[in-house]
Amino acid sequence: MKALVLNQETYSLSVKDVDLPLLSPTQVRIKIKAASINHHELWTLQEKNLKSNSDIILGSDGSGVIEKVGSSVKNLKTGDEVVINPSINWGADNKVHGQNYEILGFPSQGTFAEYICIDHTYVGLKPGHLSFEESAALPLAGLTGYRALFSRGQFESNNKVLITGIGGGVALFALKFAVASGADVYITSGDATKISKAIHLGAKGGVIYRDKNWSSELREMAGGFDVIVDGAAGRDFARLTELANPGGRIALFGRTAGQITDLNPKTIFWKQLSIHGTTMGNKDEFESMLKLVTTEKIKPVIDSVYPAKDINLAFKKMESADQFGKIIMNMKQF
């Protein structure tokens, strides 16, 4: 089969013929139709920190069609249209993943290939209202956004929500989920056009995080927030604690803007704030996320679709933070 293999010298990806993965009795073999890229893989390309004696095939997100089922798989069949849960080996405790936890793509083979063999427990049926491209946008970012907002952010129906860096994949899912749940949602972005697009998707308003006074503008516009979903961290994280209402929760899932500095402890303890780190999600959350998407007919925001062979260009686009929504790879075009 063809796969996009990581060059461990240059940390770029190129098309290579590799062996078709072997199918174990509990696995299904999926013909991948679409994949999507995540910042997680971009960190790998930038930090150049993966090494292996075998081919590394990244990719956490994928949708496709089951081509073959292992002998003991009873709940899925050939021809089923599916999405893959990239949260591997979460473990028994729904609150936190265990020591053997992996994000699909390394060390196990990821979705940047024509086929993948994966345990049937990581496979869900594709929501019927979505195309393969739209479905490929869902798994990693949808799961992360779902857990951040509902499980870790403890969203309740009358809560006001702030989501930072709305152009990001996870942020846009958090927006869609919060709007579908009836919340008043405000956002930040580096780009005024993205704020307008987010308002079109149901946000009440937003400010540009590059402006010096963005947090006071936001305070004036919206007051305080009960739930804040943040994937940026960095110097401005301290301002999020100031914008949080007493008893507020900040669900932190990323580090795009780097180290957190200048937190004022008194703001945190006096307002009884909770800062909740969050990563991906468990199997129950993956299923709940798919259910929410299906019942509310939620459509992921797609920025662009690239042929598989142009994956390095797709990562360049992500690097420039130019995107609004998910960047999809068409895995039929090698």
Binding site residues, ligand NAP, CB under 6 A:
38-40, 43, 140-141, 144, 164-171, 188-191, 194, 209, 231-232, 234, 253-257, 279-280, 318, 321
As a whole number of angstroms, the distance between CA 301 and CA 130 comes to 11
Looking at residue 23, the DSSP 8-state letter turns out to be: P
Up-side HSE of residue 210: CA atoms within 13 Å toward CB?
Answer: 5
In angstroms, give the least distance from the CB of 39 to ligand NAP.
4
In angstroms, give the least distance from the CB of 58 to ligand NAP.
14
In angstroms, give the least distance from the CB of 170 to ligand NAP.
4
Q: Residue 120 or residue 152: which is nearer to ligand NAP going by CB?
A: 152
Residues forming beta bridges with residue 27, ordered by sequence position: 119
In angstroms, give the least distance from the CB of 166 to ligand NAP.
5
Question: What is the secondary structure of 192-214 as a DSSP string?
Answer: HHHHHHHHHTT--EEEETTSTTH
Q: Residue 247 or residue 258: which is nearer to ligand NAP going by CB?
A: 258
In angstroms, give the least distance from the CB of 321 to ligand NAP.
4
Q: Residue 252 or residue 331: which is nearer to ligand NAP going by CB?
A: 252
As a whole number of angstroms, the distance between CA 208 and CA 194 comes to 10
Sequence-ordered alpha helix ranges (H) in 250-298: 265-270, 283-295
Q: Residue 166 or residue 179: which is nearer to ligand NAP going by CB?
A: 166
Sequence-ordered alpha helix ranges (H) in 70-213: 132-137, 139-146, 169-180, 192-200
Residues forming beta bridges with residue 84, ordered by sequence position: 123
Q: Residue 21 or residue 59: which is nearer to ligand NAP going by CB?
A: 59
